[in-house]
Every structure is written in structure tokens, then in C-alpha cells.
């Protein structure tokens, strides 16, 4: 196998995002529900026998603000090669659809897809857990995408409990303005003391405390059945939203526009995209120029879930 073409990298939405503390090393502790949606970047991989690694943009939109040599996909390929001693290289083509600085995990998803694709293209045979160990060094969201399931996420992003969610549709609005993740997390006014929840408490709020027997037998906590999206949204909020809104007032404008259609809206991740659950089809009035608006559906699993063993 010399090439892998049209390999998807899905975006995610944070149904809520609580910042519960900050470690001595500066990393923030969070609790969130991460949900994949069918808004995907597309990547192409061509084997290089000479060990070289490079990336090119495909399509009209630039892949990211980073130079190709420093892009997360290139960093992921280098990290995988260094971790395994693999002599092969790769030419990566990146067709970007997920907007940058949106809080939708586009760069992290691209990195995760790169690790999964090269694990196959290079014939490495690493497990999902082994890939996640490499991915965490690239970004806190990378292990989630490698896990392959919607999830309750905590710690710095490395503690992941898979969840099943009810099928749902959403409208996502991304204004032209952006805000860097580093600037938002570094803001003095950021709330960092949201009350720490337990996944048992989360279950009691959104699923009537329905768990399987593995919780009682020490086999690990799992939630039984699919969780209702609206109840999860009611469980929490996004601690990053006030800071992002102060940096980029367009976040507030997008929220007001969606609320004007009778929808409950909030920012995802570190923004600046906002989203609303569509309980029924909506006829949205024309939005201000420059806003990117897209309807999407959640995904039960990553498209590459079966590409490697757990």
C-alpha cells in the first residue's frame, strides 16, 4: 500500500467545558463532553521511501496559520517516526474544511488522523493506546480523536470515558474573527474554579444514574444507553466563553443571532465558533457577511475506529 486518499478528520464540539483548576506546570484541568460531528478535513498520504516528511495544501483554503514544516500533521508524522524508528517518510496533502481558531479541534483531529493513517501506511501495528501516548505530546485533544468515541473528558484531556449520545443535528456559526487558545487560557480573568464533578454525578444529572454493573465490580465506570443531548447541554456551560467574547465580540453577536431564532447557543472549546442544537429544522434568516454557517450531525464513532486495535 503506497497511498491512502481522502482520509477523514472530523471536527468536535464541546457540549460544555468547565475549568476546574490549574497545575503547577501551567496546564489547565478541565471537564467536558467532546462530541464528533460530520464536518471533516480530508487528508492524503503518499509513502516516501527516503524518510522525508512534507505537507502541501489542497484546495483554496490554507491548511493552517502554521508553516507546512511546523504543521501538526508534520509534527505528528515526525513524532511517530521518532517513537518507532520507522525509516519511511510521507507526503501529506491537507484539504482544509474545519475553520481555524474555532474551538472545533481541527488541528488535533488532523494530527490524530495522521497517526492512524501512518500506523497503517508504515505497517507499524501500534495500538490505539500507544498512539495516544504519542498524541498527547502534540495536543490535549489528540487522544480524544484517537479514542474514536464521543466521550467525557477530564484531566488535561488524557482521561477519557466513552459515551453514547442520541443522534442530533446542530448549526455551527464561525465569525471571521479568531482568538488564540494561548491568549484565552492565559487571561487573568479566566474562571478556573468550577466545581469538580464526578462522572457518577454527571450520570445522575443526565442519565438517571444508569450505569452498568462494571462500576460496582471494579471493571471501570460506563454509562448505559444513549445520553440525551439537551440534558447534557443543561448540565454545564463553557468557562472560556466570557474571555473569548471579550477578545472577539463577534462571538456574542453570533450567540445573539442564534438566540434570535429561538435557539440556545454557546461557544465550543476555546472558540470562536458557536453552536446550537436543532431539535427541529430551522429556517435561518440571512446572517452578516463573512460568517461561516453550517448544519452538521453528530457521529457515533470516528470513521477510522477500526484502523487499529485498542
Active site residue 12: yes
Task: Report yes or no: 258 and 171 within 8 Å, Cβ to Cβ.
Answer: yes
Cis peptide before 272 (omega within 30 of 0): yes
| 282 burial level (CB within 10 Å; 0-12, 13-18, 19+) | middle
Could you give the CA distance from residue 237 to residue 271 in angstroms, rounded to a whole number? 13
Task: Report yes or no: 229 and 206 within 8 Å, Cβ to Cβ.
Answer: no
Fill in the DSSP letter of residue 144: H
Question: What's the gap between Cα 240 and its chain centre?
Answer: 15
Could you give the CA distance from residue 274 to residue 286 in angstroms, rounded to a whole number? 16
User: What is the DSSP annotation of 159-202?
Assistant: EEEE--B---EEEEEE-S----HHHHHT-TT----PPPP-HHHH
| 310 burial level (CB within 10 Å; 0-12, 13-18, 19+) | exposed
Instruction: Please state at what angle helix 106-121 crosses helix 128-135, rounded to 10 degrees.
Output: 130
User: What is the DSSP annotation of 11-29?
Assistant: EEEEEEEEEEEE-TTSPEE
Pairing of strands 274-278, 169-174: antiparallel
264: three-class secondary structure by DSSP: coil
Closest to 161 (Cα-Cα) out of 151, 170, 171: 151
Write down the catalytic residue from 12, 41, 110, 174. Answer: 12
Could you give the CA distance from residue 25 to residue 30 in angstroms, rounded to a whole number? 15
Question: What's the gap between Cα 67 and its chain centre?
Answer: 22
Write down the catalytic residue from 71, 141, 174, 239. Answer: 141
Active site residue 96: no
- Only one residue has cell 515526525, namely 78
**Residues with catalytic annotation?**
12, 141
Amino acid at each position: 500500500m503506497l497511498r491512502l486518499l481522502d482520509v477523514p478528520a472530523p471536527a468536535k464540539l464541546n457540549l460544555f467545558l468547565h475549568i476546574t483548576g490549574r497545575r503547577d506546570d501551567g496546564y489547565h484541568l478541565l471537564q467536558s463532553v467532546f462530541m464528533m460531528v460530520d464536518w471533516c478535513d480530508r487528508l492524503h498520504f503518499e509513502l516516501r521511501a527516503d524518510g522525508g516528511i512534507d505537507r502541501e495544501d489542497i484546495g483554496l483554503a490554507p491548511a493552517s496559520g502554521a508553516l507546512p514544516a511546523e504543521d501538526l500533521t508534520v509534527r505528528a508524522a515526525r513524532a511517530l517516526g521518532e517513537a518507532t524508528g520507522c525509516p519511511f517518510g510521507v507526503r501529506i496533502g491537507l484539504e482544509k474544511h474545519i475553520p481555524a481558531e474555532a474551538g472545533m479541534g481541527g488541528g488535533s483531529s488532523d494530527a490524530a488522523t495522521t497517526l492512524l493513517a501512518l500506523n497503517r501506511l508504515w505497517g507499524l501495528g501500534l495500538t490505539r493506546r500507544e498512539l495516544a501516548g504519542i498524541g498527547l505530546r502534540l495536543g490535549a485533544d489528540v487522544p480524544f480523536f484517537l479514542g474514536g468515541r464521543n466521550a467525557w473528558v477530564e484531566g488535561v484531556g488524557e482521561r477519557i470515558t466513552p459515551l453514547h449520545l442520541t443522534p442530533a443535528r446542530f448549526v455551527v456559526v464561525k465569525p471571521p474573527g479568531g482568538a488564540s487558545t494561548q491568549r484565552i487560557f492565559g487571561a487573568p480573568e479566566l474562571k478556573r474554579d468550577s466545581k469538580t464533578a464526578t462522572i457518577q454525578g454527571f450520570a445522575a444529572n443526565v442519565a438517571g444514574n444508569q450505569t452498568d454493573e462494571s462500576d460496582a465490580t471494579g471493571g471501570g465506570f460506563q454509562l448505559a444507553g444513549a445520553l440525551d443531548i439537551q440534558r447534557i447541554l443543561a448540565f454545564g456551560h463553557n468557562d472560556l466563553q466570557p474571555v473569548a467574547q471579550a477578545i472577539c465580540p463577534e462571538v456574542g453577536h453570533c450567540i445573539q443571532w442564534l438566540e434570535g431564532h429561538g435557539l440556545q447557543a454557546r461557544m465550543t472549546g476555546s472558540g470562536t465558533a458557536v453552536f446550537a442544537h436543532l431539535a427541529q429544522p430551522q429556517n435561518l434568516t440571512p446572517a452578516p457577511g463573512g460568517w461561516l454557517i453550517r448544519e452538521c450531525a453528530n457521529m457515533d464513532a470516528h470513521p477510522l475506529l477500526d484502523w487499529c486495535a485498542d
